[in-house]
Amino acid sequence: MKSGGRSNRTAWLLLLACGVLIIGAMACLTHGVLESERERSLAMARADLEERIRLSLWRMDGAASAVTIEENQRVMNPAGNQLPNSFARVRFQLSPDCRAIPTEPCSDEQLAELNQLLQADEDLIPRYQLMCQAVHSGAQQWSANAYIAGNTKDPEGERTSLQYQQELSMKERAVRGKTVNAAVEKAGLAQQLAAPGPDQPLAAFATAFQPAWIGQEAFLLREVQGDEPMKKIEGVWLKTAEFKELLLGEIRDLLPRADLEPMKPMEAAGNALALASFPWRLVPGESAAATTEIRGAVTPLLAAGWVVMLVALAAGAFMVHGIMKLSERRASFVSAVTHELRTPLTTFRLYSDMLESGAVTEEKKRTTYFRTLRREADRLSHLVENVLAFSQIERRPTKPKAETLEVGGLVDSMRERFEERLAGARMTLVVDVPAGLEAAGSATAIEHVLFNLIDNAAKYAAGGDPPEVRLAAKPAGEAVEILVCDHGPGIDEAEFKEVFRAFHKSAQAAAESRPGVGLGLALSRRLARSMNGDLLCRSSAEGACFVLRLPAS
């Protein structure tokens, strides 16, 4: 038993190690799948954000270009029939000392604030000229960038790759810059300004307005060439807050938390988030990581994988447990049968040797020896019969052919065999079966069950008071109950279910207790259930009481 225990522990430890390895591998696989799914989801979210950013930049460039184009198309005529621009705060010309000369009426406070801004910017004229040169060269650079970006392919083969999205954003900015620059140039270049009067017919020409920052305020500036040899600079001081709100209002449905930050025109050339129409940089107000979600199909698949794995482990554990139980039952059977065979074989050998030697009188042969040999032979026959019947039921469980039986007549036909078995234990049989009681079942199976119960009573209740076994029958609704009760030590209620388990007796118990291999009750219950009945053990104040329930005829 100790070696069996060690082998059982070894098997369980191996199963536990395999389970840990399988669970660890499944955990690593799950982690990898989730990480891959997060990366995929993050890439898709990043691509979606980039698409919304590009669309937002297109919308804002369109709205900003409309304001710039409107200013370029205005005819600077004092008589003026032009429509007012709601985003223009003050229109002015710059004097040689960089002071503003209003070209349209404005308040003294606005003019004073404007001059304060202009005087604070010492590099206004050189910076404006440099900006105009950058815009001219930028148009060519935009065209080159558009060609390069248009011929750049996704290195990873996925539209969601970060490099692809960055190159696509630069391409979009190049296209936007080219489009905006072309529209502004078309509206501004060679714009003929109306002469101030019939005595001055010479027309003037102006470049297109270019955006600029003076301090923290947005301006539009351009050069005007008139009949004077010196060029003049005209400007429009914009309502920065209202202009910014206009642009952000265009993209509220795409980027509700977006903002715009001012930047220098030269810095905007290489920034994918910069507007092409105005030196503003878009701040999306959200990140791709905030929108990542795991696909709904991944979680059920992983859950199904875990369930299948756990079910497989449970099935493996159940199988190992079953194999161990089978091994224990086999060991118990071998031990019990060995003990049961050793006793009668020893008796046969001893008695045969004594009979062969002639040391036994004829009277003793007849009264003692032959009777003992017959009893041991019946014991062996009953043991072999139980083992074969149980083996047959284990291999091929079949239902015996049912027939209508009169219980009283059936018990009478078996009574002699039962009494003979009890006589060997110095016990008597008391039969209490009413006449006319019928049940459905197999006579052979019923006899086998009842004899096993009588045999158990003879083994375990031989010292009862009175030394008798009561066999009774009674109707019980749609069933018939046949009771076999004795006056022995009885059975604890905690063991009512255990006594019907095959080989319930351990190897040690089988060697030390009364005869039996622990098959009689297990076989009897299976035979009873094969007849659509059952075999139960009930508590009794006097001893053990077994009840065979059979369907009523």
Q: Distances from the Cα of 297 to the Cαs of 39, 83, 288, in angstroms?
A: 16, 58, 21
With a pLDDT cut of 90, the percent of the chain lying above it is 15
Kindly indicate the confidence band of residue 79, based on its pLDDT and cuts at 50, 70 and 90.
Answer: very low
Task: Assess whether pLDDT exceeds 90 at residue 156.
Answer: no
What is the token pair recorded at 545? 């009481």
Range with lowest mean pLDDT among 34-43, 51-60, 184-193, 514-523 = 184-193
Mean pLDDT, range 282-293, rounded to an integer: 73
Question: Contact at 8 Å (CB) between 256 and 61?
Answer: no
Mean pLDDT of all residues in 211-231: 79
Of the given ranges (33-47, 143-157, 209-223), which has the lowest mean pLDDT? 143-157
Q: Which of 34-48, 103-117, 223-237, 476-490 has the lowest mean pLDDT?
A: 223-237
Q: What CA–CA distances, in Å, run from 201 to 76, 82, 194, 197, 535?
A: 15, 20, 8, 7, 128
- Under the banding of pLDDT at 50, 70 and 90, the label for residue 231 is confident
Q: With helix as H, strand as E and coil as C, how does 269-317 read?
A: CCCCCECCCCCEEEECCCCHHHHCCCCCCHHHHHHHHHHHHHHHHHHHH
pLDDT at 375 over 50: yes
345 SS3 class: helix
Mean pLDDT value of segment 377-403? 73
pLDDT at 176: 63
Residue 147 is predicted with a pLDDT of 39
Q: Is it the case that residue 109 has pLDDT exceeding 70?
A: yes
pLDDT band at 302 (very low <50, low <70, confident <90, very high): confident
Of 522, 548, 532, 520, nearest to 403 (Cα)? 532
Q: What is the token pair recorded at 117? A: 């801004």
User: Quick one: DSSP state of residue 492?
Assistant: -
Q: What are phi and psi of 547, to 5 degrees?
A: -125, 120
Q: What are the boundaries of each domain within the chain?
A: 23-286, 311-551
Residue 101 DSSP SS3: strand
Q: Is the pLDDT of residue 272 over 50?
A: yes
242 pLDDT tier (thresholds 50, 70, 90): very high
Fold designation for 311-551 = Heat Shock Protein 90 (3.30.565)
Q: Work out the pLDDT band at 429, boundaries 50, 70, 90.
A: very high
Average per-residue pLDDT for the chain: 77
Reported pTM: 0.50
Angle (CA) 450-456-461 rounded to 5° is 125
